[in-house]
Amino acid sequence: MKKLKFGIIGCGGIANTKHLPALAKLKDKVEIVAFCDVILERAEKAAAEYGVENSLVTEDYKEVLKDESIDVIHVLTPNISHSFITVDSLEAGKHVMCEKPMAINYEEGKKMLDAAKRTGKKLTIGYQNRFRADSLATYDACQKGELGEVYFAKAHAVRRKGVPTWGVFPDKEKQGGGTLIDIGTHALDLTLWYMDNYKPKTVLGSTYAKLKNNPEANMFGPWNPETFETEDSAFGLIKMENGATIFLEAAWALNMINPKEAQVTLCGTEGGAEMFGQAFIDRGYVVFNKAAHNQLEETKPSDAGGVFGFEGGKLEQRDAEAIQWVDAIINDTEPLVKPEQALVVTQILEAIYKSAETGKVVEL
């Protein structure tokens, strides 16, 4: 079988902690042949560790797109450049995985979706939390109707003191926002996916930068308050067309002792589901609850079993995401994360920011 040739655009933290290690485990199907970064040394380092012999190393992503032998591009750059690099890659005849969030706003995301439809190339977004064992169990329960109609949900993305101090995270221009667009996006993606509800009607939002001058005890070390340009917490109330309500909470720093990240609480007419544990590092679990036999019951799935159809134990979310993406390309099937879904996530995030700025409800 001919191996798929991959090009990596952006060789920073997310490339080296997620995409490159996962793709490296698929050497029977994948070759990483091109590496691009605005800091050439990062591209050179990644190529030396993960590339084939004579890999292309460049600071200009368009040099990667000129290589007609490359099948797939991973766009792993700051949020502001997701849209135009993805569109250019699709137009160059490449399938694309773009890191989350899809784009900094709905308009930019729509350009990506339109390009994918126009070119017929596959586009997916890096929402790897869908591939966790607890996520898949929750999704399965929702698909089978075990919770009934899910009419209220909470999307949790809250850290006590976990502000990222590397890269461009505090840079509002390059990222398009702070904690909401960074980790809130994961929780919202999961919530909409579980509910299978992508029709928002109104959004009310608030954002805060109340702790930017208090870097003490941050888990990633102290940040510089003078360069901290984004919100440190954000909250949104989303009303869906069918009447369902979602509350989204996102915080890099919030004075509370029960943080939750990339987790969801679902409340339905027949039962509920709530996520616990350290889900973002594959140590999470879901508890289902319902009334049965004239009493209230909670059930926690066993830790045994596979994930996403793979037997013999759990896969890390990054590995399951990569396997599914590569197989979708080889077998010409739809990836699990569809760009149409990711675009609604971006639309809601943009509306929360707009509502916070104007103090008004945003109608969608």
pLDDT, position 318: 96
In a domain, 228, yes or no: yes
238 Cβ neighbours under 8 A, 6+ residues apart: 200, 202, 203, 245, 246, 247, 248, 348
The yes-or-no verdict on residue 310 having pLDDT over 70 is no
204 in a domain, yes or no?
yes
Note whether 100 and 209 are same-domain residues: no
Task: Give yes or no: residues 59 and 161 share one domain.
Answer: no
pLDDT (tens digit, 9 = 90+) per residue, 237-250?
A: 999 999 999 999 99
Cα angle 96, 68, 89 (rounded to 5 degrees) comes to: 30
Pair 77, 158 in one domain: no
My answer on whether 74 and 111 are in the same domain is: yes
- 308 has pLDDT over 50: no
Residue after which a domain boundary falls, among 78, 104, 127:
127
Q: What is the three-class DSSP state of 90? A: helix
Residues 206 and 277 in one domain: yes
Highest-scoring range by mean pLDDT, 229-233, 297-301, 304-308 = 229-233
pLDDT of residue 307: 47
In a domain, 143, yes or no: yes
Most confident range, picked from 75-84, 219-228, 281-290:
75-84
Residues 121 and 134 reside in one and the same domain: no
Which residues are CB-neighbours of 163 under 8 A, at least 6 positions away? 169, 170, 215, 218, 220, 223, 228, 232, 252, 253
Q: Of 92, 127, 162, which residue constitutes the final position of a domain?
A: 127
Q: How many domains does the chain have?
A: 2
So what's the pLDDT on residue 319?
Answer: 96
Q: Looking at residue 16, which CATH number applies to its domain?
A: 3.40.50.720
Q: Clarify whether residues 244 and 351 are in a common domain.
A: yes
| pLDDT for the residue numbered 312 | 45
Q: Is residue 334 part of a domain?
A: no
Q: Are residues 185 and 57 in the same domain?
A: no
Tell me whether residue 251 is in a domain: yes
- 35-39, 116-120, 191-195, 224-228, range with the lowest pLDDT: 224-228
pTM: 0.95
Q: Tell whether 90 and 170 lie within a shared domain.
A: no
What's the pLDDT band for 311 if we cut at 50, 70, 90?
A: very low
How far apart (Å, rounded) are the C-alpha atoms in residues 278 and 283? 5
Judge if 147 and 295 occupy the same domain: yes
Q: Tell whether 301 and 348 lie within a shared domain.
A: yes
Q: Is residue 64 included in any domain, yes or no?
A: yes
Nearest residue to 200 (alpha-carbon basis) of 346, 69, 49: 346
- Compute how many other C-beta atoms are within 10 angstroms of the C-beta atom of residue 68: 10
Among 110, 127, 144, residue at a domain's last position: 127
Residue 166 lies in a domain: yes
Is the pLDDT score of 162 beyond 60? yes
Q: Is the pLDDT of residue 58 over 60?
A: yes
Question: Could you tell me the CATH number of the domain that includes residue 191?
Answer: 3.30.360.10
Residue 66, SS3? coil
Please check whether residue 328 lies inside any domain of the structure: no
In the chain, the percentage of residues whose pLDDT exceeds 70 is 97
- Judge whether 216 and 147 are in contact, CB under 8 Å: no
Quick one: pLDDT at residue 282?
A: 83
Residues 181 and 255 in one domain: yes
Tens of pLDDT, residue by residue over 328-355, are 999 999 999 999 999 999 999 999 999 9
Q: Tell me the pLDDT tens digit for each residue of 275-286.
A: 999 888 888 999
- Decide if pLDDT at 361 tops 80: yes
Q: What residues make up the domain containing 115?
A: 4-127
Render pLDDT for 12-34 as a digit per residue (tens, 0 to 9): 999 999 999 999 999 999 999 99
